[in-house]
């Protein structure tokens, strides 16, 4: 029975993603950390699908679709920002900072 270890692994991967969002400043690496968090949640969906039926696997399907859409739009926004300020470092994206 791999449900418990799989859920623990999912929690650990999610927290590594959160830690990455906190310690990095490169916006594209932040996107990768968000993908890592989405993958961790997918793992918990798949693990629970072994007990509760295929609804979990269908949810993974939808999460992957949303992640692909998010990556496409997010990277397009990064391209647009890079064209304006020639950087994707978050310390240079401070227009709204007080």
Partner 1 sequence: MTEIVFYVLGGFAVASALLTISQRNPVPAALWLVSTIFALAGIYVLLHAQFIAAIQVLVYAGAVMVLFLFVIMLLNLGREKGDIRPAPAWGLAAAIAAGIVGALVGLRRITPAALALAGWEGTVKGSPFDVLPGGLAVQSADSLGNVVASLARPLFETYLVPFEITSVLLLAAAVGAVVLAKRRL
By the criterion CB under 8 A, which residues form the site for partner 1?
2, 4-9, 11-20, 22-26, 28-29, 31-33, 35-36, 39, 42-43, 46-47, 49-58, 60-62, 64-73, 75-80, 82-83, 88-90
3 state DSSP class of 88? coil
For the bound state, the minimum distance from the C-beta of residue 87 to partner 1, rounded and expressed in Å, comes to: 8
Do residues 40 and 14 lie in contact, with contact meaning Cβ atoms separated by under 8 Å?
yes
For the bound state, the minimum distance from the C-beta of residue 95 to partner 1, rounded and expressed in Å, comes to: 18
Dihedral of the CA atoms 89, 76, 43, 11 (nearest 10)?
20
């Amino acid at each position: 029975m791999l449900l418990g270890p799989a859920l623990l692994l999912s929690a650990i991967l999610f927290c590594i993603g959160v830690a990455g969002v906190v310690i990095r400043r490169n916006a594209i690496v932040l996107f990768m950390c968000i993908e890592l968090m989405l993958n961790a949640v997918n793992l918990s969906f798949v693990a629970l699908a072994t007990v509760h039926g295929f609804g979990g696997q269908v949810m993974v399907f939808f999460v992957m679709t949303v992640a692909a859409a998010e990556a496409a739009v997010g990277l397009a926004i990064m391209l647009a920002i890079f064209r304006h300020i020639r950087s994707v470092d978050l310390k240079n994206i401070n227009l709204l900072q007080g």
